[in-house]
Amino acid sequence: MSQISIQIKNLSKRLGPNQALAGITASFEPALLYGLIGPDGAGKTTLMRILMGLLFPDSGECAYLDNHQTVAFERVRSSIAYMPQQQSLYPDLSVAEHLEFFRDLYLISGKVFQKRRAELLHLTRMEPFQDRPAGKLSGGMYKKLGLMCALLQSPDVVLLDEPTNGVDPISRREFWDLLYRLIRQKILVIMSTAYMDEAERCSRVLVLDEGKIIAAGEPLSVLKQEKAGNFEELFLQRQKAGRR
Amino acid sequence: MSAGFRFSRAWSIARKEVRHVRRDPFTLATALGLPILLVVFFGYAIDFNVKDIHMIAADRDNTRASREWLKNFTSSRFFKLEPADPGQDPQSALDTEQAKGVIIIEPGFGNDLGAGRPAEVQILLDGADNSTTGIISGYLIGIQQAAWKKISSGPRVQPLSLQTRFLFNQEQNSRWFVVSGLVVVVIGVLSILLTALTVAREWETGSMELLLSTPVRPLEIIFGKLAPYLGLVLVSVVMVYLVARIQFGLPFMGNHLLFLAGILLFLCLCLAQGLLISVITRQQQLAMQLSFISGLLPTLLLSGFIFPIESMPPFFQYLTYILAPRWFMVISRGLFLKGVGLLELAQPLFMLLLLNLIMMGLALKRFKKDLEP
């Protein structure tokens, strides 16, 4: 099994008048859950899209390593799963039809698909809703379907852009249980969130603001270093200090 | 693994698209309803055959000769003659749109005619409606000749006479002319609109972002998304063809395979145009407006559908060379009404092929596999 890690160096990206990313350096290792933490407009989605190859950086590097060997993005592309922030499923297609559609796109064989599909439906407790169109799912179930589509191909890297946004607290807890399962399978998970309380659940955090990383590391040591009780406080402190 | 075109992936996109179409009443209604609407609208509403034109006759001479002369008008089915209101200026009928023309015969008409002097009749036509008046003045020449024969003493041999015979569409049925061009309008509007909407929808709802993150290739997306609409529009074309043949009694003089080749060429071109619009706009609303402007206007105005290209200013004549509907119009009419063959259609077919290559090249070049603005 391949273990993919990602290293980014001095990544910058301008989108229209905004400097979405201004020189970001970080590395992402397998079997860890990285949280991109920051307010709206911090550059989280832009970074996600660059990692997925949907946007190209103006300057800087984005390298993918497979067992410590640098590989071309096209080689690893099919083992990276991505769940966009925007609702991107087809409202008129049912849960089962979505899974079949993504099976075909990822060229998954019938046998593997049957097993994986049963596994995912069980894990997400979505078995009773297979025939329900995506447009009629609740916020939490919709996100779960998105995650199922992403996980169908058994990826090595999972990129989730605000997966818990607009999801009720109970569904959010369920969602986190699913994420913990993933990292136990040595998968690299990178998720972004604007919910500060979720930061402490990540293995590592990258705190982003205005396109820059203002702190990075294990959540508790970041808080200690910044002398903040929690991440909300961290941002409030920064705001008071006029964004150093 | 992800390199190269995989038919199965294109097929899965096509199958998904068919599901969308089947569940979306708007698309189905447009694809099947719009052609019928166009056929009924253009087939029945547009009629260049003029008949029952209202004319006002002010016969101030009121002699046998003047009455005889006027009878020529009433005996043709083209005109409906009404005597003028005596207390009213006959010309006011034109102002109030009561009549398209006024005939005034001054006193002395009969005397002049009898004495062998030139007799005069004044005819006033409503020039504001120049298409009708153009046709009226055409008929007038014929009526004048008929009247001359009757009134003048005995038939004189005319030194020169023109015998016109129409080779195609002998009855000069304008409905045949319009309906044989309708296939062009239906394909032109429908296929551009439907493809522009379906791809723009994918961008607008954000599902394109998810699609592009999968190993699916742009070409697979394009093939998968367009194939169902190709089929759908072909069904509409068959519908229009059947209505034209059965309802309007249109002949089909040419080769059906040649017609199919022309249809496919034109259809692919329109699909590429719709695709280009949608990848540029990425929004349904804008894509719809652009499709109507770029699809409907050239087809209706610059293809020769109604307005002959030969009578356009030179600039517009040359402009029509790069417009696909113009070429397909030649093919459609040629096959329906004239029965031309491959040799005569070589130029339009070649032009369609050339425009196809250009349009597809543009659409593929602009189709992005990333989200860069």
Q: Which residues contact B17 (CB under 8 A, 6 or more apart)?
A: B198, B224, B225, B227, B228, B229
Element holding B260 (H helix, E strand): helix B256-281
Which one-letter amino acid corresponds to residue A223? L
How far apart CA B184 and CA A184 sit, in angstroms, is 61
Contacts of B210 in chain A (CB under 8 A): 82-84, 88-89, 149
Q: The pTM is what?
A: 0.81
Q: What does the block give as tokens for B127?
A: 């020039």
Q: What is the pLDDT of residues A213-233, one digit of tens each?
A: 999 999 999 999 888 888 888
Mean pLDDT of B258-275: 95
The answer to whether A9 touches A55, Cβ cutoff 8 Å, is no
Which amino acid type is present at position B224?
G
Average pLDDT score over residue span A231-244: 79
Query: Residue B2: which pLDDT band, with cuts at 50, 70 and 90?
Result: very low
Residue B163: band (very low, low, confident or very high) from pLDDT cuts 50, 70, 90: low
Task: Decide if pLDDT at A244 tops 70.
Answer: no
**Facing residue for A54 by CB, picked from B11, B205, B213:** B213
Q: What is the mean pLDDT of chain B?
A: 85
Query: Which residues 340-359 in chain B show a CB within 8 A of chain A?
Result: none
Q: What is the mean pLDDT of residues A163-186?
A: 88
Per residue in A115-171, pLDDT tens? 999 999 998 899 999 999 999 999 889 999 999 999 998 899 999 999 988 888 888
CA distance B208 to B280: 14
Does the pLDDT of residue B264 top 50, yes or no?
yes
**Per-residue pLDDT, A219:** 92
Q: What is the pLDDT of residues A7-37, one digit of tens each?
A: 999 999 999 888 999 999 999 999 999 999 9
Residue type at position B110: G
Q: Which chain A residue has the Cα nearest residue B368?
A: A54
Q: Does B6 contact chain A (CB < 8 Å)?
A: yes
Residue of chain B whose Cα is closest to the Cα of A161:
B210
With beta carbons less than 8 A apart as the criterion, state whether B254 and B342 touch.
Answer: no
CB burial of A178-206 (b: ≥16 within 10 Å; e: otherwise) equals bbeebbeeebbbbbbbbbbebbbbbebbb
Judge whether residue B161 has pLDDT over 50.
yes
Q: Give the pairing of strands B53-59 and B101-105.
A: parallel
Q: What's residue B41's pLDDT?
A: 82
The architecture of the domain spanning B53-146 is: 3-Layer(aba) Sandwich (3.40)
The answer to whether residue B132 scores a pLDDT higher than 80 is no
**Per-residue DSSP letters for B35-56?**
HHHHHHIIIII-------EEEE
Instruction: Measure in Å the smallest separation between the Cα of B3 and chain A Cα atoms.
Output: 9
Six token digits for residue A14:
């301008």
| CA-based nearest residue in chain B for residue A151 | B214
Reading the block at residue B160, the tokens are 């020169």
Q: In whole angstroms, what is the distance from residue B327 CA to residue B192 CA? A: 17
- Among A16, A78, A90, the residue with its CB nearest the CB of B207 is A90
How many Å lie between the alpha carbon of A128 and the closest alpha carbon of chain B?
Answer: 22
pLDDT digits (tens, 9 = 90+) for B180-214: 888 898 888 889 999 999 999 999 998 999 999 99
**Segment among A2-6, A35-39, A236-240, B134-138 with least mean pLDDT:** B134-138
Closest residue, chain B, to A106 (C-alpha): B215
The mean-pLDDT minimum among B157-161, B172-176, B239-243, B285-289 falls in B157-161
The total of other beta-carbon atoms located within 10 Å of residue B82's CB is: 14
For chain B, strand residue ranges (E) read 53-59, 79-83, 101-105, 122-125
Length of chain B: 373
Is there a contact between A82 and B213 (Cβ–Cβ < 8 Å)? yes
Ranges of CATH 3.40.1710.10 domains, chain B = 53-146
B86 and chain A in contact, CB less than 8 A: no
pLDDT of residue B372: 84
Which of B362, B358, B366 lies closest to B218 in space, CA to CA? B366
**How many other β-carbons are positioned within 10 Å of the β-carbon of residue A86?**
12
**Has residue B233 got a pLDDT over 80?**
yes
Q: Which of A74, A81, A82 is nearest residue B2 as measured by Cβ atoms?
A: A74
Mark residue A44 as left, alpha or beta (left: phi above 0; alpha: psi -120 to 50; beta: remaining).
alpha
Q: Report the alpha-carbon distance of residue B18 to residue B12 in Å, rounded.
A: 10
pLDDT of res. B186: 87
- Nearest-Cα distance to chain B for A87, in Å, is 6
pLDDT surpassing 80 at residue B141: no
Contacts of residue B208 in chain A, CB cutoff 8 Å? 88
Tokens 């742009």 found at: B218
- What is the nearest CA distance from A186 to chain B, expressed in angstroms? 21
Q: Does residue B230 carry a pLDDT above 90? A: yes
Q: Mind giving me the DSSP string for chain A?
A: ---EEEEEEEEEEEETTEEEEEEEEEEE-TT-EEEEE--TTSSHHHHHHHHTTSS--SEEEEEEEETTEEE-HHHHGGGEEEE-SS--S-TTSBHHHHHHHHHHHTT--HHHHHHHHHHHHHHTT-GGGTTSBGGGS-HHHHHHHHHHHHHTT--SEEEEESTTTT--HHHHHHHHHHHHHHHHTT-EEEEEES-GGGGGGSSEEEEEETTEEEEEESHHHHHHHHT-SSHHHHHHHHHHTT--
Q: For residue range B314-353, what is the model confidence (pLDDT) as tens digits?
A: 999 999 999 999 999 999 999 999 889 999 999 999 999 9
Label residues B276-293 b or e (16+ Cβ within 10 Å = b): bbbbbbbebebbbebbee
- Cβ proximity of A49 and B371 under 8 Å: yes
- What three-state secondary structure class fits B102? strand
pLDDT (tens digit, 9 = 90+) per residue, B50-79?
A: 677 888 888 888 888 888 888 877 777 778
Range of weakest confidence among A53-57, B115-119, B139-143, B313-317: B139-143
For the segment A170-183, the average pLDDT, to the nearest whole number, is 88
| Inter-CA distances, B135 with B11, B159, B179, Å | 55, 26, 21
CA end-to-end span of chain A, whole Å?
A: 44
Mean pLDDT of B74-90: 78
CB A48 within 8 A of CB A192: yes
* Cβ pair A82:B371 closer than 8 A: no
Specify whether the CB–CB gap between B150 and B72 falls below 8 A.
Answer: yes
**Residue A22 structure tokens:** 């201004």
Q: Does the pLDDT of residue A242 top 90, yes or no?
A: no
Contact across the interface for A104 and B370, Cβ inside 8 Å: no
pLDDT at res. B172 = 62
Chain A interface includes B25 (CB < 8 A) = no
With beta carbons under 8 A apart, name residues in chain A contacting B371.
49, 54-55
Among B338, B347, B324, B345, residue whose Cα is nearest residue B258: B345
- Please count the residue pairs, one from chain A and one from chain B, whose beta carbons lie less than 8 angstroms apart: 80
pLDDT value for A229: 86
Q: Does B214 touch chain A (CB under 8 A)?
A: yes
Query: What are the φ/ψ torsions at residue B97 (nearest 5 degrees)?
Result: 60, 20
Overall residue count recorded for chain A in this entry: 244
pLDDT at B164 over 70: no
Going by pLDDT thresholds of 50, 70 and 90, the confidence category of residue B160 is low
Among A16, A77, A84, the residue with its CB nearest the CB of B2 is A77
- B11-64, pLDDT tens digit by residue? 999 999 999 999 988 888 888 888 888 888 888 877 666 677 888 888 888 888
Compute the mean pLDDT over every residue in chain A, rounded to the nearest whole number.
91
Mean of the pLDDT values across residues B280-306? 91
Q: Is the pLDDT assigned to residue B87 strictly greater than 70?
A: yes
Question: Hey, what are B166's tokens?
Answer: 């129409």
The residues of A whose Cβ lies within 8 A of any Cβ of B are: 15-16, 49, 52-56, 74, 77-78, 80-84, 86-90, 92-93, 97, 100-102, 104-107, 149
| pLDDT for the residue A211 | 92
Q: What pLDDT sits at residue B192?
A: 93
Q: How confident is the model at residue A40 (pLDDT cuts 50, 70, 90)?
A: confident
**Phi, psi angles (nearest 5°) of residue A228:** -125, 150
Q: Which of residues 33-72 of B touch A (CB under 8 A)?
A: none
Confidence at residue A1, expressed as pLDDT on a 0 to 100 scale: 63
**Does the beta carbon of B95 lie under 8 angstroms from any beta carbon of chain A?**
no
Which chain A residues touch B16 with a CB distance below 8 Å? 90, 93, 97, 101
CA-nearest residue to A100 within chain B is B12
- The candidate with the shortest Cα–Cα distance to A130, out of A105, A98, A152, A171, is A98
Mutation site, A18, A73, A79, A90, interface B, largest B CB count within 10 A: A90
Nearest residue in chain B measured CA to CA from A158: B213
List the single best residue of B22, B371, B372 to mutate versus A (max A Cβ within 10 A): B371
Q: Is the dihedral of CA B339, B345, B348, B349 positive or negative?
A: positive
Higher pLDDT, B237 or B98: B237
What confidence score (pLDDT) does residue A105 get? 93
- Residue B108, pLDDT score: 86
Least confident range from A188-192, B174-178, B342-346: namely B174-178
Q: Inspect the interface and report whether the beta carbons of A84 and B206 lie closer than 8 Å.
A: yes
| Alpha carbons B254 and A185: distance in angstroms, whole number | 67
Bridge partners (DSSP) of residue A6 are A28, A64
- In angstroms, rounded to a whole number, what is the distance separating the alpha carbons of residues A154 and A81? 9
Place of tokens 């009924």: B40
Per the CB < 8 A criterion, the answer to whether A83 and A147 are in contact is: yes
List the single best residue of B213, B223, B368 to mutate versus A (max A Cβ within 10 A): B213
